Amino acid sequence: MCCYNWNNLHFTMKDLYIVGNWKENKTVDEAISFLSEFTKTYEARPNIKVIMCPAYLAVPQVSAFVKSNNLQVEVGVQDVSKFSEGAHTAEVSAYEASEFANFSIIGHSERRSRGDTDDDVKTKVEMAIKNNLEPIVCVINENVPVPQGTKIIAYEPVEAIGTGNPDTPENAESIASSIKSKNSQVQYILYGGSVTSENVRSFTEKENIDGVLVGGASLDPKAFSSIIKAC
Ligand code: PGA
């Protein structure tokens, strides 16, 4: 009997991004313990790019661990300054971040609610691109402006973040398809908001959803590697 479902095969083989956003969590020691545990269960897959975004202080050590253990993981940061280097106390420039990271989340709703405007997001995306960081721009719906040069969008409805109440895969798919049709430059749309190993596949199997941005469940090495395995 035939056992291939070519539709499913297509969906499982498309390129996927799985981003772990640790937010304001984990000391350097805790980050390294996470990675040591994570390597025991993580199985890299050719079509899946895994991106870990630690808090800034842990970024250099996470990057060093990834390189020295040849871990198939990319390092990202959670934000960059909208300024170039200079007299901007407490800011970290995209140039400085690019020493260790290849990606940056930009415009997360937790940053927007603390003051980041659409214009700030646009400037940060420009800074990121100029310094070879691939921006992952977060939007809460299809009406948020997408800055020029953005290839990866994370659709994250605020009410789904950290609540255990994810959006429905059908609604996320319809928003993703609308964002893609409005912005031809966008190649990948990730869904974010209460993603777990139980629900991840219901999102990634949708035609226009190309991965997930994971907060809470990315803090636990087993939970995060189960998400990667399940999608
Ligand atoms: P959550 O967070 O997975 O904990 O809902 C997602 C995010 O804020 O990126």
* pLDDT one-digit tens code per residue, 182-222: 999 999 999 999 999 999 999 999 999 999 999 999 999 99
Residue 13, pLDDT score: 81
Report the alpha-carbon distance of residue 135 to residue 42 in Å, rounded.
25
Cβ 74 under 6 angstroms from ligand 1: no
Is 18 in a helix, a strand, or coil? strand
Give the CA-trace dihedral at 59, 62, 67, 69, to 10 degrees.
180
Report the alpha-carbon distance of residue 13 to residue 41 in Å, rounded.
21
* pLDDT one-digit tens code per residue, 5-27: 444 444 458 999 999 999 999 99
Q: Which atom of ligand 1 is nearest to the CA of 193?
A: 5
Parent domain of 191: 19-230
Residue 5, pLDDT score: 45
* pLDDT one-digit tens code per residue, 141-150: 999 999 999 9
pTM: 0.94
Is position 165 within any domain?
A: yes
Is position 6 within any domain?
A: no
CATH number at residue 149: 3.20.20.70
Catalytic: which of 110, 142, 156, 173?
Answer: 156
Adjacent-strand bridge partners of 48: 16
User: Total domain count for the chain?
Assistant: 1
Is position 113 within any domain?
A: yes
Report the alpha-carbon distance of residue 118 to residue 122 in Å, rounded.
6
CA–centroid distance, 213 to ligand 1, in Å, is: 7
CA–centroid distance, 194 to ligand 1, in Å, is: 6
CA–centroid distance, 191 to ligand 1, in Å, is: 10
Q: Which atom of ligand 1 is nearest to the CA of 214?
A: 3
Active site residue 88: no
Is position 138 within any domain?
A: yes
Q: pLDDT-based confidence at 29, cuts 50/70/90? A: very high
Altogether, the residues listed in the chain come to a count of: 231
Place of tokens 């691939």: 134
The pair phi, psi for residue 126, each rounded to 5°, is -60, -45
Is 161 in a helix, a strand, or coil? coil
* pLDDT one-digit tens code per residue, 62-87: 999 999 999 999 999 999 999 999 99
Cβ 67 under 6 angstroms from ligand 1: no
Is 44 in a helix, a strand, or coil? coil
Adjacent-strand bridge partners of 228: none
